[in-house]
């Protein structure tokens, strides 16, 4: 039985959850409780929403729509909408089955992914499903079926032959977890300048001070519609967009929302998430960046080979050629941490600024070189990868092929910078700006080496960096963050400035200072 009420806009956000408000008398009359999932419909729009109850926000003949409903879904105010109570979702029984340690079928996982994407189950039930990635865990069949089912919950794109008859659709993706994420915004323009099709999607921050999308939107819009995506890639050969702005594996976006609150992510969920998005984007060749070390997502070196092997196998099962780029991380990739500071690093590399992070530039050219070699754009080196694993040999360089030198030439010639701003303009950006134009927080604090602190920096704790940067307000306050005045390998002595904290208010700056633990932030060697 449908309930018909007049819609009312509520100018408040619920974060990511789609919520409506009923008057408590209306809810009581129809037996609807707070937290129930109901189907809200208007014309051809049908969405599953969570019910909240109030006796002041709406009248008995009204339904209140929070911003996530009237804004994102396009439901207008003052219209008669229908509300239909829903039976218990089938997927809940399958989640219970998995919690009890039993293997799920391909169909059962498809039902779960469908219900997650449509928000037919509540966040608490999604969280229980997320827990099963940790315990009891998924076997290889379940992992494959979940990735395929997740991809099918949204748009399935195909960019082959979209530009210059290119059948190869290439990409690079990092498992994340490391502060300073300047690789993708430079690597993608390098690859596109070499003639590859690169439809890159990224996420917002989950466990870091800024995700790639958080950084890119400092200078360009990252929220794009699918139709616009085809136009952008046909024009430039590449895109750099936020995957959450499109219907690409939308079930994953719901799961990521839960992960963000928990600040944890299982390896199997990591695999499923990345593979599903790349299936949906029609990628044919990909390099997976696997940073590992203390404070990253992969702390145990023994897990690296297992994770790399899992990526190669799972991608192969869905018809995508994958290689991996494992690398030991003992410090952030760049000097800037936080959206604006990281974008400043990126622009400094494009500009070949004397204060650019050279180690980040080297990493980017080496990783881009691997993609260029695996796609046949550059000559392949004989020592490049461990057979069957796609793993990079410790200490090996793309220099045994000519990929890295090709990437470096594209970067130093200015072609990559030109392509970056071409992509930015196609995505709706205003045009080139200089690194010095990037605005930073006006409240600063210099962190100096204390008496007795002497030696060479061996480790800068990623975990401590994340803690301080989050306290300063990243990624939501883009001007906030940290700039490393001293990096790994630098000599330090008493009184040296080690890092500068940036904030947009005195209170935020104090939170950052209080979060700083100097004893855990740095490890020095003599």
Angle, CA of 463, 288 and 425, to the nearest 5°? 90
pLDDT single digits (tens) 299-355: 899 999 999 999 999 999 999 999 999 999 999 999 999 999 999 999 999 999 999
What's the gap between Cα 266 and its chain centre?
A: 15
Q: Could you give the residue range(s) of every CATH 1.20.970.10 domain in the chain?
A: 90-137
SS3 content of the chain, % helix, strand, coil (to 5): 40, 20, 40
Query: pLDDT tens digit string along 199-247?
Result: 999 888 777 888 899 999 999 999 998 889 999 999 999 999 998 788 8
Hey, what CATH topology would domain 440-525 get? Answer: Aldehyde Oxidoreductase; domain 3 (3.90.1170)
Do the beta carbons of residue 20 and residue 32 sit within 8 Å?
Answer: no
Helix (H) or strand (E) holding 192: helix 183-193
Beta-carbon contacts of 290 under 8 Å, excluding residues fewer than 6 positions away, are 174, 175, 298, 304, 307, 308, 311, 324, 325, 326, 327
**Dihedral, CA of residue 469, residue 329, residue 172 and residue 401, to nearest 10:** 150
Report yes or no: 394 and 427 within 8 Å, Cβ to Cβ.
Answer: no
User: DSSP labels for 224-284?
Assistant: --HHHHHHHHHHHSEEEEEGGGTTSSHHHHHHHHHHHHHT---HHHHHHHHHHHHHHTT-S
Burial class (CB in 10 A: 0-12, 13-18, 19+), 452: exposed
For residue 34 the two structure tokens come to 């707070």
Structure tokens, 239:
């895109």
Eight-class DSSP state of 419: H
Residue 392 is predicted with a pLDDT of: 43
CA–CA–CA angle 419, 424, 430 (5° rounding): 125
Listed in sequence order, the DSSP H helices in 290-394 are: 302-317, 339-351, 358-374
Contact 501, 512 (CB under 8 A): yes
pLDDT above 50: residue 387: no
| Residue with tokens 């196609």, as numbered in its chain | 426
Q: List pLDDT tens digits, range 58-72.
A: 999 999 999 989 988
Contacts of 514 (CB under 8 A, 6+ apart): 471
At residue 285, does pLDDT exceed 50?
Answer: yes
Closest-CA residue to 472 (of 210, 177, 206) = 210
Residue limits of CATH 2.40.40.20 in the chain: 2-85
Per-residue pLDDT tens over the stretch 401-413: 899 999 999 999 9
Query: For residue 333, what are its two tokens?
Result: 């990739």
* CA 301 to each of CA 140, 240, 265, 275: distance values in angstroms, whole numbers, following the listed order: 22, 31, 17, 22
pLDDT band at 398 (very low <50, low <70, confident <90, very high): very low
Give the number of C-alpha atoms closer than 13 A to the C-alpha of residue 267, restricted to the C-beta side.
20
Q: What is the rounded CA–CA span in Å between residue 501 and residue 153?
A: 42
Question: 170-426 has which fold?
Answer: Pyrimidine Nucleoside Phosphorylase; Chain A, domain 2 (3.40.1030)
Q: What is the mean pLDDT of residues 195-200?
A: 96
User: What burial class does residue 3 get, using C-beta atoms within 10 Å of its C-beta: 0-12 exposed, 13-18 middle, 19+ buried?
Assistant: middle
- Residue 15: what pLDDT? 75
Quote the CA–CA distance of 72 and 453 in Å, as a whole number: 52
**How much of the chain, in percent, has pLDDT values that exceed 70?**
95
DSSP symbols for 98-153:
HHTTPPPPHHHHHHHHHHHHTT-S-HHHHHHHHHHHHTT---HHHHHHHHHHHHHT
Contacts of 355 (CB under 8 A, 6+ apart): 348
Cis peptide bond upstream of 362, omega within 30: no
Q: Strands 391-392 and 385-386, how do they pair?
A: antiparallel
Looking at residue 164, what is its pLDDT? 82
pLDDT-above-90 percentage for the chain = 80
Give the model's pLDDT for residue 261.
Answer: 66
Query: Considering the chain, what is the average pLDDT of its residues?
Result: 92
Residue 360's pLDDT is what? 96
Question: Are 181 and 333 in contact, with CB atoms under 8 Å apart?
Answer: yes
- Do residues 400 and 417 touch, judged by C-beta distance below 8 A? no
Q: Above 50 in pLDDT, residue 394?
A: no
Whether the pLDDT of residue 99 is over 90: the answer is yes
Closest-CA residue to 108 (of 123, 90, 125, 120): 90
CATH 3.40.1030.10 in the chain, residues?
Answer: 170-426
- 90-137, what's its fold? 1.20.970
- pLDDT-derived band at 400, boundaries 50, 70, 90: low
The model's pLDDT over 116-167, given as tens digits with 9 standing for 90+, comes to 999 999 989 999 999 999 999 999 999 999 999 999 999 999 999 998 888 9
Average pLDDT of the segment spanning 74-89 = 93
Residue pair 172/375 in contact (Cβ under 8 Å)? The answer is no
2-85: CATH class: mainly beta
């Amino acid at each position: 039985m449908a309930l018909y009420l007049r819609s009312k806009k509520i100018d408040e956000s619920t974060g990511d959850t789609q919520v409506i408000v009923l008057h408590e008398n209306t809810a009581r009359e129809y037996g609807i409780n707070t937290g129930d999932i109901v189907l809200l419909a208007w014309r051809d729009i049908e969405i599953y929403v969570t019910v909240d109850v109030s006796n002041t926000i709406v009248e008995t003949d009204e339904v209140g729509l929070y911003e996530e409903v009237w804004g994102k879904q396009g439901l207008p105010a003052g219209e008669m909408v229908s509300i239909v109570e829903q039976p218990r979702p089938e997927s809940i029984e399958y989640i219970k089955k998995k919690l009890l340690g039993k293997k799920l079928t391909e169909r059962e996982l498809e039902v779960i992914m469908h219900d997650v994407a449509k928000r037919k189950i509540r966040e608490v039930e999604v969280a229980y499903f997320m827990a099963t990635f940790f315990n009891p865990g998924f076997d290889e069949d379940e992992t494959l079926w979940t990735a395929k089912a997740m991809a099918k919950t949204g748009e399935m794109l195909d960019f082959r032959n979209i530009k210059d008859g290119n059948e190869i659709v290439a990409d690079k993706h990092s498992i994340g977890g490391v502060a300073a994420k300047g690789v993708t915004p430079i690597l993608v323009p390098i690859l596109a300048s070499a003639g590859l099709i690169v439809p890159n999607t990224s996420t917002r921050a989950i466990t870091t001070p800024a995700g790639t999308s958080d950084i890119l939107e400092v200078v360009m819009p990252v929220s794009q519609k699918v139709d616009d995506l085809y136009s952008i890639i046909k024009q430039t050969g590449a895109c750099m967009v936020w995957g959450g702005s499109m219907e690409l594996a939308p079930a994953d976006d719901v799961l990521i929302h839960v992960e963000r609150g928990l600040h944890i992510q299982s390896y199997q969920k990591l695999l499923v998430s990345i593979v599903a998005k790349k299936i949906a984007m029609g990628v044919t060749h990909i390099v997976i960046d696997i940073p590992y070390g203390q404070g990253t997502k992969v702390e145990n070196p023994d897990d690296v080979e297992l994770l790399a092997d899992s990526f190669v196998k799972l991608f192969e099962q869905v018809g995508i050629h994958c290689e991996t780029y494992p690398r030991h991380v003992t410090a952030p990739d760049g000097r800037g941490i936080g959206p604006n500071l990281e974008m400043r690093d990126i622009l400094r590399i494009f500009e070949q600024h004397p204060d650019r992070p050279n180690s980040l530039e080297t990493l980017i050219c080496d990783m881009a070189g691997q993609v260029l070699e695996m796609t046949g754009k550059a000559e392949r080196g004989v020592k490049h990868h461990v057979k069957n694993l796609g793993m990079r040999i410790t200490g090996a360089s793309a220099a045994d092929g000519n990929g890295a030198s090709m990437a470096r030439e594209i970067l130093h010639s200015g072609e990559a910078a030109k392509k970056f701003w071409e992509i930015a303009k196609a995505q709706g950006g205003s045009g080139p700006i200089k690194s010095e134009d990037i605005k930073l927080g006006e409240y600063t604090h210099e962190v100096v080496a204390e008496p007795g602190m002497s030696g060479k920096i061996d480790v800068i704790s990623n975990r401590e960096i994340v803690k301080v940067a989050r306290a300063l307000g990243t990624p939501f306050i883009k001007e906030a963050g940290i700039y490393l005045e001293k990096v790994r390998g630098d000599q330090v002595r008493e009184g040296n400035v080690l890092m500068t904290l940036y904030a947009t208010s005195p209170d935020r700056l104090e939170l950052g200072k209080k979060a700083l633990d100097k004893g855990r932030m740095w490890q020095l060697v003599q």
